[in-house]
Chain A
């Protein structure tokens, strides 16, 4: 199971990296989004994927899921949600002001 998820994470990272390297604003944002999903998957895989156990520590249980990674990605998802929302608004505004969504044209120069 872990191997399969690791391969999925690898594919997601590949897609995300490819999208970030393009010069269209929206593609970059989507790329960042996909990368952060890949990271969330990775955190939960690093805690160990187990089936059929609740993430609780009662005494004398032998089967349980590690609750810490779940708490971590919950926080990471919320933060990512806020940051992505901000980035989308910012990019829309930048597009409106500059009249372009091409990152090459937003490079800026000495006098810009």
Chain B
């Protein structure tokens, strides 16, 4: 049973490799990519049920005893993210069938897409610092190609910035790994955690913690997000939706993992620092979101605000704060994919991304309009939609931790989201209908399936959070109690 946790990582990888051989069989690639992702989803549901009953799943590759071998660890927090990743990926790949040009499909779009998913899932499941770096590189290399695929002028320009900043942060990641290895002599998360708990987190280790925070902050778009709006708005919709939903979340996951499992001894330094960065991120992201008139720019700045808000839950570092962060993280992955897909359809229909040049789409596309409205309410955090519960718990967590300023900034950021997203709704959907259906630049044929699935999920998560509540509880319990993770990895063996 333990061995199935490798499946979510290698299934997309193998499928991607096969797709390279099947270059001209695009139909086969389409079907196989959906089949692969559904298989990943089913596996992760199995894993969730198993973890809830029997505790954290671990696998040591080659049967080397931990900490000597390479470990894969699936606790509930990772598995929930793997499940959400697979759902988002299925929706985006279905959306891609209709919207991606044939030329991109023939140039290994589906293979790259699955490599990206494999890298994302690998980062969620790995139990080893260096493998986290390797999986980061897998997903980053796939994303570099996905940003540039098509080779338009603006794509190349933004890709240059994206690639350079990410290489730089990978270099700093390696510096952090080198320091970590020289301090603790190990790279397994669980083993590092044990060694630091034994020796105490002194000033030097805290400095390394801040270095790791900066590295992951670049990937997550926490404060160091200046590369993000440009590079997320240039690729085609299906790709930018996946980026917005998944790539920044990998950085957020890494921050949460490092600062709950390893660097949890000095929260008044590290976690307060995260809180300050989160507050600044929400303020700056909010200013960006209300300042632009291009749909893509507004939506990408909303990604930035979401990052800040999730990490506010970590900064609080209480049970409720992390509970909220977990709920909100799952919600954010779904809702960012949804809102980017709808935004992409709007641009596709009107042929422009400037809000001032569009109007009255609700008359010709009522379903699209109301689904955008639902998504917008969910993004702001209005009950009974999925954003509400996460927002309540994060705010409560920050108040419990006496970080009132952080909770208040989070709520103010919601107002900025409200303004920015309602601006999109009012301008794009309300008002005089400018284009009749014949004049539109594209049609919604075939793209509504993916959008409807995601809308359904955000409503379902909002009305019935009881369905995932036991799983989220288990996840947060493990996050607050690192010993559970350590015991699962070492499995009763002596810790050297």
Contacts and interface: CB of A to CB of B under 8 A. Distances in A.
Interface of A: 20, 25, 28, 32, 35-36, 39-40, 42-43, 45-47, 68-69, 72, 75-76, 79, 82-83, 86-87, 90-91, 93-94, 97-98, 103, 106, 108, 112
Which 9 pairs of residues, A with B, have the shortest CB-CB distance? A46-B182, A94-B156, A43-B178, A46-B178, A39-B174, A79-B137, A42-B178, A35-B171, A106-B157
A86 B141 CA distance: 9
A90 B179 CA distance: 32
B163 interface: yes
A69 B181 contact: yes
A43 B160 contact: no
Given A43-B177, A90-B163, A108 B154 contact: yes
A106 B160 contact: yes
A25 B156 CA distance: 13
Nearest to B166: A83
13 contacts: A25-B160, A28-B164, A32-B168, A32-B171, A39-B175, A47-B181, A69-B181, A72-B130, A91-B160, A97-B151, A98-B156, A108-B230, A112-B154
A110 B151 CA distance: 20
Interface string B142-179: 00110010010110111110011001101100110111
Contact of A43 (B148, B157, B181): B181
Contacts of B187: 68
A40 B163 CA distance: 20
Given A42-B175, A46-B179, A93 B154 contact: no
A93 B181 contact: no
Interface centre among A75, A82, A83 (most CB of B within 10 A): A83
Contacts, number: 87
Contact of B134 (A42, A75, A86): A75
Contacts of B137: 79, 83
A28 B174 CA distance: 19
A111 to B, nearest CB: 10
Interface in B274-332: none
A94 to B, nearest CB: 4
Contacts of B141: 82-83, 86
B156 A32 contact: no
A46 B163 CA distance: 28
A20 B172 CA distance: 14
Contact of B144 (A69, A86, A106): A86
Given A43-B181, A46-B179, 15 more contacts: A20-B168, A25-B160, A32-B171, A39-B174, A43-B178, A46-B182, A72-B177, A90-B163, A93-B151, A94-B159, A94-B160, A98-B157, A103-B160, A106-B157, A112-B157
A68 to B, nearest CB: 7
B134 A79 contact: yes
A36 B169 CA distance: 11
A83 B156 contact: no
A32 B164 contact: yes
